[in-house]
Chain A
Amino acid sequence: MRIFVSAFCFFAFAAGFLGVGRFFDLLFTFFGATQLFPGAVRLAGGLFGGTAAATLAILFLTVLFGRFYCSSLCPLGTAQDAASFFGHRKGRGFSYSPGILYLRALSLAAVVIAFAAGASPLAGFLDPYSLTARFLQYALVPLFDLSKNLLAPLARNFDLYWLNDFGGFSIWATVAAAATVPFILALAFFRGRVFCNSLCPVGAVLGPLNGIALFQVRFDAKTCVSCGACARVCKAECLDTTRRRLDASRCVSCFSCLATCPTGSLTYSRKLWAKESDIDPTAVPDPARRKFLKKTGSSGAGVALALVSAPVARAAQSLAPNLQPLAPAAPPGAVSLVRFLSSCTACGLCVSKCPSGVLRPSIVKYGPRGFLMPYLDYDASYCQYDCTLCTDLCPTGALKKLTLDDKRLVQMGTAALVTEKCIVFTKKTACGACAEHCPTGSVRMIPAPTGIPEPAFDSAICVGCGACHHICPAEPDKSITVTGKSVQGKALPPTKNLFGNPESSLSNSPFGLPRSAPEGKTPSRPPKGEDFPF
């Protein structure tokens, strides 16, 4: 039953991420929203909607029912279970290990420091959600596309058009994604949930919560016969049958052990406060209890360490090289690069879903702190004026949710027009590709004495979508290019442009508005056909 639930959650997550169909998109909206790490980032940013609300609910439920998040909702958890299933199916069992709990405290501290230091994309190397999402987007999607390409000639017979150009493929993103998850899965293959209990920042918080959960897997040392059956199936390696105890802070609530116990010593049950005094003082000696407390406290220590070092990290951020001169354009709703670098975990969801493909993972554009963080690659495509998808989807709130009206005014960058490089001037032939694509009319073609209309630009209504940059055919250098803004601005509404309102003077020129007097002649209309213009 639990395996079914976990598998279902995992496939809903993966299929939704890969964009298999609308049904899975809906499922993904639900299961994607249950991810704790992005929810916590959202909470930390003072946002309470979406994943943040789900995070609060899951934390509350964890205190009641234990670490079900790790066993069922976390896609990386399920993937690890699958790996450890294959690693342990041939009778090779697990065995107790004391674990390395200070590691998870360090991991938690590292994550908090990364956020404080404006290197939140690096925290994504520890967050199980971001790790899984990156793996799907940068490792599995290209593989999926490649196999579709191979099958495309067959699919064509059924009027299915599966070929794609791999336009946005980024080898370094793929290498980074393909290195992490398989490593974690290999760990799981040999040692079960090692990652969850020593490296995962989410586990570092949920572990101690599981220790105090109302319902949890409980171990009755009095009835235990130390047969070791439970320890052999415990992928968290937290059941010590020789000393007859269970490290609840590492138990992932998978319940695999319950059915294996021949004496019924293991139960998933409510804490029985009345029987507290009945605990045999010899069976659970004080040192073990102190050790348990220490383990629980390790996460607290991690948080404390992080809180202490956070201001230092924040101070260090100001010393980091200034991004401004070469900064690429960040997606809409990023507000500023400083904010974006402190809230994006580079999970790649926006990159995966961006319909135009303009969002690409940065390798060096943002510097090392922003590795894999999305930017607008105008050479690849341009931001679609009437689209808010990335701001709708961002699970961490790094991209602020925007209404379409607001998004249409967000200035992600600014265009610069260099007429010396423009085809109209260099080749003296008509072009107008920039004006054609500009959604706000900030680049327009205006009549010129040469008869070939020339581009003119109004920066106040430009939103930096990059349409002009993308399409400009001038070679070797484009004549119009867009540079990112490190602090996003607000454009004037398109109607408040420099060019005046066409309503006032509908020209006799087919090329928009005349610079001075209207040119061209009124067409002569032959008498025949009366109402007809010809």
Chain B
Amino acid sequence: MDRRDFLKTAARLGLGAGATVLMGSGAGRLFAQAAGSATSSGKRPPDLVAVKGGEADALFDAGIAAFGGMKAFVKAGQTVVIKPNIGWAQPPETAANTNPKLVKRIIEHCLNAGAKKVYVFDNSCDTWSLCYKTSLIEKYAKDAGAEVVPPNSSSYYHEVVIPGAVSLKKARVHELILESDVFINVPVLKNHSGAGMTSAMKNLMGIVWDRQFFHRYDLDQCIADACLFRKPSLNVVDAYKVMKSGGPRGYGSSLYETPKFQILSTDIVAADAAASRTLGFEPSRFRYIGLAAEKRSGQADLSKLDILRLTI
């Protein structure tokens, strides 16, 4: 078996895994390996890539290159769903939502990699139409050629069973998450009044219809449970500008830092562990990270990860 054949097989396996509705962690790992083997150097890609020192879109260009480009995740003809944080009717300068330029660049990479269709949606907290508009994500995503999908009807969310969940055993998940071949999670890193920090794992609340369930039945446990359903193919944590207080919506008096930072990982728990350090806290400070690690959703111990640090 030559390298080309191996790649083909691996890609097919990855595709199959992506199409499987209930993609277990094992299949996810397989997919990640298949993707990893596609790097130009031929060696395994890093577990986590941290990039700093540029605009959000430039950070992504550098970060995705370290994984061997978007082709490592998106195959020609596949459908992609991108899930940014579009939770609030707040303009980009408040960093309450994912940086629209970053969303745009990710879409462009997906389409360049041959994606058949790229969808963008978030079950927002504030009124969705205002969130989509004020965040500028709708405009940037449409400019890049994505389908921006309204999240406002419960009928688009279908009940699924979450294997191994402790509290969130069932949830209604948006059909784009169920149907799309590739799922890219693009949170913004922020302070959060309830969970302490919102990043990659907390962002998955926006694929579910009933957010109140999370708050009602142990927020931390539900956030951890949500990762057991379909793990994103890639997590891109936007930490270009970080809301340090008053999150997640942000007040006039919220404090900010602009570390011009980005974290990319196929491991959602690792991404959040790195994100918590970026916010200035140990990962153990956030209960849901520990709970998710216990369920083997990913690696919370940063010392056990192969981290690539880039400055551009």
Chain A interface (Cβ < 8 Å from any Cβ of B) = 152, 159, 161, 163-165, 355-357, 381, 384-387, 423, 427, 429-433, 435-441, 444-445, 453, 471, 473-475, 493-495, 497, 501-503, 506-508, 510-513, 520-526, 529, 531-534
The chain A residue with its CB closest to the CB of B156 is A163
Given A510-B192, A510-B286, 12 new contacts (CB under 8 A): A163-B156, A356-B130, A386-B89, A435-B194, A436-B125, A453-B194, A474-B216, A494-B252, A497-B253, A502-B245, A510-B197, A531-B311
B309-A473 in contact (CB<8A): no
Does B126 sit at the interface, judged by CB under 8 A? yes
Number of interface residues, chain B, beta carbon within 8 A: 60
Q: Which residues of chain A are within 8 angstroms of B244 by Cβ–Cβ distance?
A: 506
B153-A164 in contact (CB<8A): yes
B219-A429 in contact (CB<8A): yes
CB proximity of B242 to chain A, nearest CB, Å: 11
- CB<8 Å pairs between A and B, sample of 28: A355-B127, A356-B130, A384-B130, A386-B134, A387-B127, A429-B219, A431-B215, A433-B194, A433-B212, A436-B192, A436-B193, A436-B249, A440-B251, A445-B194, A453-B194, A475-B216, A493-B252, A495-B253, A502-B246, A502-B253, A506-B245, A510-B191, A510-B279, A510-B285, A511-B193, A511-B196, A526-B302, A533-B274
Chain B interface (Cβ < 8 Å from any Cβ of A) = 50, 52, 89, 117, 125-127, 129-130, 134, 147, 149-150, 152-156, 191-197, 212-213, 215-221, 244-246, 248-249, 251-255, 273-274, 277-282, 285-287, 302-303, 307, 309, 311
Q: Which residues of chain A are within 8 angstroms of B280 by Cβ–Cβ distance?
A: 508, 522-523, 533
Q: Which residues of chain B are within 8 angstroms of A512 by Cβ–Cβ distance?
A: 191, 193, 245-246
Give the distance in Å from the alpha carbon of A381 to the alpha carbon of B125 in the complex. 10
A-B contact count (CB 8 A): 162
The chain B residue with its CB closest to the CB of A507 is B245
Give the distance in Å from the alpha carbon of A444 to the alpha carbon of B194 in the complex. 10
Give the distance in Å from the alpha carbon of A225 to the alpha carbon of B133 in the complex. 66
Give the distance in Å from the alpha carbon of A415 to the alpha carbon of B285 in the complex. 31
A436-B194 in contact (CB<8A): yes
Q: Which 7 A-B pairs have the closest CB atoms?
A: A432-B194, A510-B196, A435-B193, A163-B153, A432-B193, A441-B251, A473-B212
Q: Which residues of chain B are within 8 angstroms of A430 by Cβ–Cβ distance?
A: 194-196, 218-220, 287
Give the distance in Å from the alpha carbon of A523 to the alpha carbon of B302 in the complex. 13
* Secondary structure of the B contact surface, majority rule: mixed
Decide yes or no: A429 and B220 within 8 Å by CB, A441-B253, A511-B193, A531-B52 being known contacts. Answer: yes
A533-B278 in contact (CB<8A): yes
Contact of A384 among B127, B156, B255, B287 (CB under 8 A): B127
Q: Which residues of chain B are within 8 angstroms of A532 by Cβ–Cβ distance?
A: 50, 52, 309
Decide yes or no: A521 and B192 within 8 Å by CB, A161-B149, A384-B127 being known contacts. Answer: no
B249-A355 in contact (CB<8A): no
B195-A161 in contact (CB<8A): no
CB proximity of B263 to chain A, nearest CB, Å: 9
Contact of A473 among B216, B251, B273 (CB under 8 A): B216
CB proximity of B178 to chain A, nearest CB, Å: 13
Decide yes or no: A386 and B130 within 8 Å by CB, A436-B194, A502-B245, A534-B307 being known contacts. Answer: yes
CB proximity of A408 to chain B, nearest CB, Å: 10
Q: Interface centre among A165, A502, A506, A510, by most B CB within 10 Å?
A: A510
Give the distance in Å from the alpha carbon of A441 to the alpha carbon of B254 in the complex. 10
Give the distance in Å from the alpha carbon of A435 to the alpha carbon of B193 in the complex. 6
Q: Which residues of chain A are within 8 angstroms of B252 by Cβ–Cβ distance?
A: 493-495
Q: Which residues of chain A are within 8 angstroms of B253 by Cβ–Cβ distance?
A: 441, 494-495, 497, 501-503
B255-A521 in contact (CB<8A): no
B281-A159 in contact (CB<8A): no
Q: Which residues of chain A are within 8 angstroms of B191 by Cβ–Cβ distance?
A: 510, 512
Q: Which residues of chain A are within 8 angstroms of B221 by Cβ–Cβ distance?
A: 429
Q: Which residues of chain A are within 8 angstroms of B274 by Cβ–Cβ distance?
A: 533-534
Give the distance in Å from the alpha carbon of A423 to the alpha carbon of B281 in the complex. 25
